[in-house]
Amino acid sequence: MTETNWLARRLAAIRTSKQRTGDAAEQRALLYLQEQGLQLLQRSFLCKGGEIDLIMRDGKYLVFVEVRQRSSKQFGGAIASVTSSKQKRLVHAAQVYLQNVKPIPACRFDLVAIEGEELIWLKNVISA
């Protein structure tokens, strides 16, 4: 076993149950979006002040995808969990990402909300 494989396994083993659940939701969303024809560019883009779960290409659009999962619609469900402060952090992270993209393509923000077994894909949910 290489050192890189060992490290990856070790890091995966120490993730919390909540993190593993989030990882599974992101994987489910990714597979769904790929089935719809989107192409993955990057997973888990992190910067100071924000994070983007998935960055994908949909034709001419660069798509920043937020994935939210809730076990039920109680308390508003996954869609309602994307607060205005979360939206601001998403926009900030997208602006940081776009600093290294030339020319800047048309962009949109999508949300994949998973509530129980239901997956809902909402396109262009944030007006930046």
Residue 113 has pLDDT above 90, yes or no: yes
Q: pLDDT of 57-104, one tens digit each?
A: 999 999 999 999 887 666 677 888 888 899 999 999 999 999 999 999
Name 65's bridge partners: 54, 110
Q: Residue 70 in contact with residue 81, Cβ under 8 Å?
A: yes
- Give the whole-angstrom CA distance, residue 67 versus residue 83: 13
What CATH number is given for 17-122 in this structure?
3.40.1350.10
Whole-model pTM?
0.82
3-class secondary-structure state, position 108: strand
- In sequence order, what DSSP letters do the residues of 67-107 get, joined into one string? EEEESSSGGGHHHHT--HHHHHHHHHHHHHHHTT-SSPPEE
Domain boundaries along the sequence of the chain: 17-122
pLDDT in tens, 7-46: 666 666 676 666 666 678 899 999 999 999 999 999 999 9
